[in-house]
Amino acid sequence: MTGLPVSAYGFLYAALNLIGGYVSKQAHRIERRLGMRRALLFTPLVLALAFVLESRFVFILGFLLIALHSVASGLFSPLLADYIHARIPSSRRATVLSIKNMANSVLFMTLSPLLGHVIDLYALPSALLSMGALLVVTLFVFSALYRAERRPAGGGP
């Protein structure tokens, strides 16, 4: 389907992990440039964009767009860790980080079979578009929660 020999998938996977590792090492520079909030919002937006574009260009740009997944995941982990370190007291930080990791695993366990089911029912482009839409909705929800948290207690803008 992709024209890529099966023997090359291991090398592709290794390259994607190298991309993610490189971006993880650069995450602090990106965070300094964009700021914590923008960087945290930028990451899922990149991932959503990758899913939406993959739904339109499944095999043409697929491998390049999959690299965006590695960029987003490589960036998100250190950014979220920095966010937690800045806002959670050290006495509770290990618990919060454990919950974050467990939530990540539960989301992956839940969404992976769901994505596979949507692929079976509709097609790969529909499933990818659905994942992109889900990420955009999630991004809006978390952005609204962030704004509500930062709003003064008097209910002003």
pLDDT greater than 90 at residue 156: no
Q: Is residue 91 one of the residues assigned to a domain?
A: yes
Q: Is residue 157 one of the residues assigned to a domain?
A: no
Q: Is residue 43 one of the residues assigned to a domain?
A: yes
Helix (H) or strand (E) holding 94: helix 90-121
3-class DSSP assignment, residue 58: coil
CATH classification at residue 40 = 1.20.1250.20
Q: Is residue 78 one of the residues assigned to a domain?
A: yes
Confidence (pLDDT) at 5: 79
Average pLDDT of the segment spanning 86-93: 91
Confidence (pLDDT) at 99: 93
Cα(38)–Cα(111) distance, rounded to whole angstroms?
A: 25
pLDDT greater than 60 at residue 100: yes
CB 111 within 8 A of CB 133: no
pLDDT per residue over 52-85, tens digit each?
888 887 676 777 888 888 999 899 889 988 888 9
Q: What is the mean pLDDT of the chain?
A: 86
Q: How confident is the model at residue 157 (pLDDT cuts 50, 70, 90)?
A: low
CB 131 within 8 A of CB 115: yes
Structural domain of residue 118, as residue ranges?
Answer: 7-150
Confidence (pLDDT) at 154: 57
pLDDT per residue over 31-46, tens digit each?
999 998 888 888 889 9
Give 107-114's long-range contacts (Cβ < 8 A, gap of 24+).
none
CB 141 within 8 A of CB 58: no
Six token digits for residue 29: 């520079």
Angle 54-115-3 from CA coordinates, rounded to 5° = 45
Percentage of the chain lying above the pLDDT 90 cut: 38
Q: How many domains does the chain have?
A: 1
